[in-house]
Every structure is written in structure tokens, then in C-alpha cells.
Amino acid sequence: MKSPIVLLGTFCVATLAGLWGSIAGELHGQVKQDKSGEQLYRELCARCHGAKGEGVKTQYSKPLVGDRTVAELSQLIHDTMPEDAPELCVGDDARRVASYMHEAFYSRTAQARHRPPRIELARLTSQQYRLALLDLVATFTPPREALQEPVGLKGEYFKSRRFRREDRVLERIDPQVELSFGESTAVPEQTDTKEFGMRWQGSVLAPETGEYEFVVETQNAARLWLNDERKALIDVWVRSGSDTTFRQSIWLTGGQAYPLRLEFGKLKEPRGSITLQWKRPRHALETIPRRFLFPQTCATSFVLNTPLSPDDRSQGYERGTSISKEWDQATTEGALEVAAYVQTRLADLARTSPNAADRAERLQEFGREWVARAFGRLLTDEELDLFVRKQFAATADPEAAVQRVILVSLKSPRFLFPDSSLPPGPQAIASRLARALGDSLPDRELRAAAATSKLATREEIASHARRLLDDRRTRAKLEAFFRQWLRIDHFDDLAKDPAVFPEFDAARHSDLHTSLELLLDDVLWSESSDFRRLLTTDELFVNGRLAGLYGADLPAEATFQKVKLNEGQRAGVLTHPLLMTGFAYHSTSSPIHRGVFVARSLLGRFLRPPPEAVAPLAPELHADLTTRERITLQTSPAACQACHALINPLGFPLEQFDAIGRFRRDEKTKPVDSQGSYRTRRGELVRFQSARELATFLASSDETHAAFVEQLFQFVTKQPIQAYPAETLPNLLRVFREKNYSVRELLLEIATVAASYHGDKGNTDLR
């Protein structure tokens, strides 16, 4: 037994050691408190993230940039940083480090301070290149009657296959071409069932750019001409074999109408039938709907067949900022294709005949006008020498000279980089406005306004912008934006587990695309064009096939119509079955994909890709867990929570919808837990009990509105909004609110701003 003195000594040593440790800790804390956020960052963070957040290749190579608020950044640092010892930077230290990072290099403001965004010199994007060539050729064709509303094709019925006027027995508008008349005829007045003919004429509108497959089904004779009056796309007028389905593919440009003629003939065959179908991008084969068919015949259009490389989309929207050998070669081949096309139609385009006495002069005038329209302005005398006179002097053949003019002009930066040679003024304004709304060259009215200096005020620019809003090209561009904004361009393959969803097939996949198109059309082109309605409407378009799958009370053969599904639960595009199907796995829903969509597209939040690919936990390994429970388990590690603390609570309210977008109340015999939350940039925590509550919040959120305005601006202009004056985004948001969140009015304002601003060349005074 130790003596009391020894025990006392031991106690005193322990006590003194504890007291010293406490004092040392307080002194250390005091020292840390005296350190700035910059000093703490250098001590604790720089070895992994770099002195200025630029990243360290052997540690964490990606720059420290994002859109978290100081409070959010502080919490993240408090919980997870440094990774090997998170307890070293908590509380006030974490807040000081976060404040320093946010101000020094992390936030958008900091990034803009060090590397100010600017309007970049950009080439034509692939879409702009195709449309510019199409419209450049079209400027030399006489204007035709404007297309009215789509109601179908003009049909003519004849009592022979020769289509003579005296044999015509009936003329009418057919909404579709889908006829089967067995052993009789399609015309009551027709008595001879052995021989008769039909002809349909008009135009077909391509709703989006891509490859279209046209299909004629018939057991009789048929010919289909599309955008070419000389050569039929499908020709089975003289039949051989027993085939009844005939198909050909063609590339079409979104928002453009093309002339169409279909002829049908029956001669002695026992039965008669014909159907005109197409397979458009992301759709199954279908009879061409009435909403894409016009009884008027439009002009033939130039269609570029040269393949073009994809544009850079690293910033979330197409940009013409990358130059490659592939792009250079494609534009060369494109110029050659245009020259060959013009060569075959030169007499019509140049309005001169091969034997005309003034043919050489007329062709040289055509060349001069071609270059001027390609460049969007009058030519200088030096340019006239280089691009026209020199080419005609180089050959004795004026047609060959025209070919040379076309090639040198279409390979010139003055055409490929539209802003490279346009000084501030009406021509530059016309060029920017045409690209903003139609991705192409100025039309006749804009060219005339620029030539007479009638684009000098904001009101004059806005007047032309409003006129162009009604153009089908503008409509197609806006709808293309929404396909990108909603991420449905990635929904090409929506195959589902047939054991779980046996009714979900390619036809219903196609129907879902049509359903969303009709919803967007119904909202965007309504009188109000209210953005908020996109997120809150409880109406949906379904046909008979979709009705049977999603529980609407419609007959199986019903065409698309507006209904209410799961009243009180659906919320516009947010819960549309196409999005719920696309943001899901093969057999289960995916709160992660859905949450990422809400965070990135709707709220405009910056999310890094995961540091490494992580396979989802297989449902069969946790058969008793709901999807929410399984995702919570998978993303529980601290390293995951850096992003999933934002993603998961935004995706969980959408768990009310299964992997094909059907509303559900239970999963795995358990009630669906659809609670979620979101901490706003102001630090407010908003909670949701359902998808509809989430949609209501999003529709009224300033963050959603700002994200939408910024994304639409960048899609329209192909430039970052930060490169424009600082007041651009606040002003657009103000107009958006004042116009009751009208998408069309916002588009009008964006186009006017884009056309008016000259960037580094100075801003026009358009007050």
C-alpha cells in the first residue's frame, strides 16, 4: 500500500498535467481564433486543394468552385473537412474558412473577378449552319403563300390512275392518310372498283431536327415525293414482289415545312389500302398526325446531308467555340454540297436562261448578291474583288465562276463567324436577332429594316422580335430548349423490366413523348404562356394506350386529349410520366436522378460529378427495403453527403411515382415516404410532404425563376449571361415578373437584349 505522501504526489502530478493540458488547449484555441480564414485554409486545406483552390493533381484535382452559400459551405467544412481529420476545422473556424474561400475563389463573383466572362467569338453551331445554308438558298426563291393552320393534306380522288382533271370525282382535306377500303372504293361516286387513283398534296412540318423515316404501306401502286419535285423518295408505281411496306429516311430541320405529294393507284388488285407513316426522332412508327400536315404546298428547301460533328455542350448549352479538323472538313464538304445543289437549279435561282445574252452579267450579279446575303451586309470594294470579280476572272465559264464564289464565301470567316466582320449597326442587330430567335440569317423583312436603318431603337427591334415569335422556326427553337431543360434528349432508351412492367412498350414510350409535347404546346402557346403553370398544372394529355396504363377513363382507341390524373397529386412537367420514367432505373424509381434534375435544371444548383462511379445497391440484395431506404443506406457515408444532402431530399417527394410514372401510395407493402426538404440560398429550410408541395415551392421560388432565365438566355444567345452587363439578369427577372412569368414575353426580351448589345464593340444606346 502506497503512503499518503506518494498518493498525494501522484494526484498532484495528474492534476497539474490536466490543468496544463486545459491551459494549453485554451491557448491553442486562442491561437486558432486569432488566425484568419486564409491562414486556416493554407494550414488545413491547401495541401489537397491548392493555394487558390485550383486543385492538386495527386490529391483533389478539380477546382474548388460552386454555388453554395457561405452557410452551406461552412456546414460542409464543419462536417467533412479536412477529410482525414474533420474535427480540426469546426464551428467558427469552418465559418472563417468558408468566408475566405467564398470571397477568394469559390463563388461566381470571385471567379468573374479573376477571369471575367466575355462574349466569345463563336462560329455557327451545327443547327445554325444547317439553317443558314437552307435560308441562304431560299432567299433566291420567290416567296410563297404562308402556311395556315395544320388541318391535313389536300386530297383528290380520280376514277383512273392518270390523274386527269376530267377524271376527278372528289376533292377534300384529309387529316391523315390512312385508308383501307377492301374490295370497294374510298369514293361513294366511284362505281368501278378495279381502277381508280388518289393524290394528296401539301406540306409536312418537321417538329425537330433529325432523321425521319417515311413509310408507305400499300398493296397497290404508290409514289411519294418529299422536298424534291423531280425524284420520288419512294416509288413503287411499278410493283414487283409481295412487299407491302416501303421506307426511306431523310434528314429534316426542325421548324421547317417541306412540300409533299403522295399518289396512289389501284389497277385490278382485289383489295386497296394506303397509309402514310413516319418515325421521327425518339418516336415509334405512327401515321403522320394532322398537326404536322398542311394543305398548302410550300417551296422546296435545301437540306444539308453532310454529317456535322456535335457542338460543345460543356457549359450546358450548344456553343460554337470549338474548332477541329473534323469541323473544318465538314464545312468544306457542306460548301461543295451547296454549290452542287445551286448548280442544278442555277437558272431558277439566278433568274436567267442558258441562252440569255446577258447570262454572264446576270450570274455575276447573282454571285455578288449571294456573298452579300451570306455575310449579312453590303460588300466593300476589296471584298467584291476578292469574292466575286477574282472568281469570274479565273475562268471563262460563268457557271464554274458561280461555283467558286459559293465555295470561297461559305468557307470565309465572314460567314462561319457571323459577328467577326459586322460593325455595330443595323446589320449586326438584324444578324443577332435572327440567330437568337431562328438560329439563322435575317429574313426579308429584317434585311429591309436593316437596309433602311429601321432597327435604331429598342421599340423597332422589339417589334421585329415579336413578329418572329410567331414563326414556326422560333417555336421549334423554344421547344428544343425545353427538351434540353427537361433533359429528355437523353431518354432515347426507356426500356423497362418486362417482368415488372409488362405493359410498357416502345409504342407507349413514344406516346409519352407526344404527351409531353402536347403539354408544352398547350402551356407555352396559350395566351398567358405562364411558366408557373408548367410546374403546377394537374392536367395531362393521354390517348387510349396511355389511359389504360395510367388509369384514365378513355376507350382504347381514343386519340390524345387533356385529362386529370390522380387529382391533387400531379404537378405539371415535374411529375409527367415521361420524366418519371426517364429519371428511373430498369425496374425501380431513382430519387437520385430525380433529385439531380430538380437541383440542376430547376434550381440551377452546381453539382459536381461523383468522384468515382458507384453502382447502386441491387434491390434484390435488400428485398425488404423501399427505394428510399436503400438510397439512404447507400448515400449515408460523409463523403456522399456533401452532395446527397441536397439531392436526396429533393428527389424523395417524387417517390410517389414508380419507374414508369404511375402514382403509388405503397412500396414493398410500406407507405411511400414522400417527405423532402430544401435549404434555400438564403438559409431557409423548406419542407415538402409531396411532389405537389415541391412543385408549388419551385413555381414560386426566385431561385427557380433565376435559373430558368439564365438557362434560356444562354440557350438563345450561345453566350454566358455573366459576359453581359451585371444588370442583365436582374432586369430580365424584373420583366419576367412584370409580365406574369410569360415564357414568350421573356423570350422576346432576351432576343431584344441579345440583338441590342455589342459587347466589346460598345453597347448601342437603345433606351
CATH number at residue 90: 1.10.760.10
**pLDDT tens, residue by residue, 723-764:** 999 899 999 999 999 999 999 999 999 999 999 987 654 443
The whole-angstrom distance between residue 30's C-alpha and the CA centroid of its chain comes to 55
Domain-ending residue, one of 294, 316, 351: 294
678/687 Cα distance (integer angstroms) = 7
Q: What angle do CA 518, 520, 522 make, to 5 degrees?
A: 65
- Which amino acid type is present at position 542? V
Q: Per the domain annotation, does 144 fall within a domain? A: no
Q: Per the domain annotation, does 354 fall within a domain? A: yes
What b/e sequence results for 148-185 when a residue is b if at least 16 CB atoms lie within 10 Å of its CB, and e otherwise? eebebbbbbbbbebeeeeeeeeeeeebbbbebebeeeb
Higher pLDDT pick, 610 / 499: 499
Statement to judge: residues 621 and 685 lie in one domain: yes
Percent of the chain with pLDDT over 70: 93
Determine the pLDDT at residue 12.
42
Q: Work out the burial of residue 660: count CB atoms within 10 Å of its CB; fewer than 13 is exposed, 13-18 middle, 19 or more buried.
A: buried
Q: Per the domain annotation, does 302 fall within a domain? A: no
Higher pLDDT pick, 312 / 532: 532
Statement to judge: residues 500 and 438 lie in one domain: no
Cell of 40: 486556416
Q: Per the domain annotation, does 42 fall within a domain? A: yes
CATH number, residue 225: 2.60.120.1560
CB 668 within 8 A of CB 588: no
204/127 Cα distance (integer angstroms) = 20
Determine the pLDDT at residue 744.
97
Domain-ending residue, one of 114, 131, 164: 114
Statement to judge: residues 503 and 641 lie in one domain: yes
Computed from CA positions of residues 710, 713, 716, 722, in that sequence, does the dihedral angle turn out positive or negative?
Answer: negative
Q: pTM to 2 decimals?
A: 0.88
CB 654 within 8 A of CB 645: no
Statement to judge: residues 160 and 91 lie in one domain: no
Statement to judge: residues 82 and 7 lie in one domain: no
Determine the pLDDT at residue 25.
43
Determine the pLDDT at residue 27.
40
Statement to judge: residues 19 and 57 lie in one domain: no
Q: Per the domain annotation, does 615 fall within a domain? A: yes
Is the bond preceding 609 in cis, omega lying within 30 degrees of 0?
A: no
Q: Per the domain annotation, does 71 fall within a domain? A: yes
Domain-ending residue, one of 682, 700, 718: 700
549: CB partners within 8 A, 6+ apart:
503, 504, 508, 660, 662
Statement to judge: residues 241 and 193 lie in one domain: yes
**pLDDT tens, residue by residue, 478-488:** 999 999 999 99
Total of domains in the chain: 5
Determine the pLDDT at residue 472.
92
Q: If you average pLDDT over every residue of the chain, what do you get?
A: 89
CB 238 within 8 A of CB 210: no
Statement to judge: residues 686 and 578 lie in one domain: yes
Statement to judge: residues 168 and 248 lie in one domain: yes
Statement to judge: residues 23 and 46 lie in one domain: no
Statement to judge: residues 616 and 560 lie in one domain: yes
Q: Give the domain extent around 596.
A: 484-700
140/405 Cα distance (integer angstroms) = 15
Percent of the chain with pLDDT over 90: 70
Determine the pLDDT at residue 162.
87
Flag whether pLDDT at 307 surpasses 90.
yes
Statement to judge: residues 386 and 530 lie in one domain: no
